[in-house]
Amino acid sequence: MSIGPARPALFLDRDGVINVDRNYIYRVEDFEWIEGAVETIRAFNERKWWVFVVTNQSGIARGFYTEEQMQGLHVWLHKELEARGAKIDRIYHCPFHEDGTIPRYTRDSFDRKPKPGMLIQAMTDFPVVKEQSFLIGDKQADLEAAKAAGIRGFLFTGGNLSSFAEWALADLGETR
């Protein structure tokens, strides 16, 4: 089964970019959208871009919540976006951290940003036009992962994500 022709991808960090970062979000009742997040995802869907989330989830390794609880939030996230006319093509997460307390997750990982594993996996799983793709993150580690994966990265420090994403797209030389 083919998933279509190659196209650019928008990579988004989750906590601090899609939702307000309140440390270890895994419950729906703690999730609060960043202003413009849904509109950003929908706008890039309309442009026929891939939209991926790449998120470090060290709270799993640290025993604050389970991978199943995180997956439950992600199922809800997909449904919420669908109800608003938007979609994320895939969410990639890294549950590993060297300082974890859960043995199966306590290790280094090529997927943990600033390493580029999740981005490279997305570009392996989907036909991505790497030269036109970019990442929006809220930490230096996000930008380092983007650079290591061979794409541009932009540091989001707050405000309206939709306005920021349009600025980033313009900075890449793209037009609406």
Question: What are the strands, taking DSSP E only, across the chain?
Answer: 9-12, 50-56, 90-94, 134-137, 152-155
Domain ranges of the chain: 9-171
Question: Quick one: which of 153, 133, 131 has its CA closest to 141?
Answer: 153
Predicted local confidence at residue 49, as pLDDT = 98
pTM over 0.85: yes
Edge-to-edge strand ranges of the sheet holding 134-137: 90-94, 50-56, 9-12, 134-137, 152-155
Predicted local confidence at residue 3, as pLDDT = 77
**pLDDT average per 10 residues of sequence, the chain (176 residues):** 83 98 94 98 98 98 97 98 98 97 96 98 97 97 98 97 96 65
Query: Which one of 15, 89, 111, 142 is the catalytic residue?
Result: 15
Predicted local confidence at residue 91, as pLDDT = 98
Predicted local confidence at residue 173, as pLDDT = 80
Query: Which one of 13, 89, 111, 138 is the catalytic residue?
Result: 13
Instruction: Look up 15 and say whether it is catalytic.
Output: yes
**Thinking of the domain 9-171, which architecture would CATH place it in?**
3-Layer(aba) Sandwich (3.40)
Predicted local confidence at residue 174, as pLDDT = 56
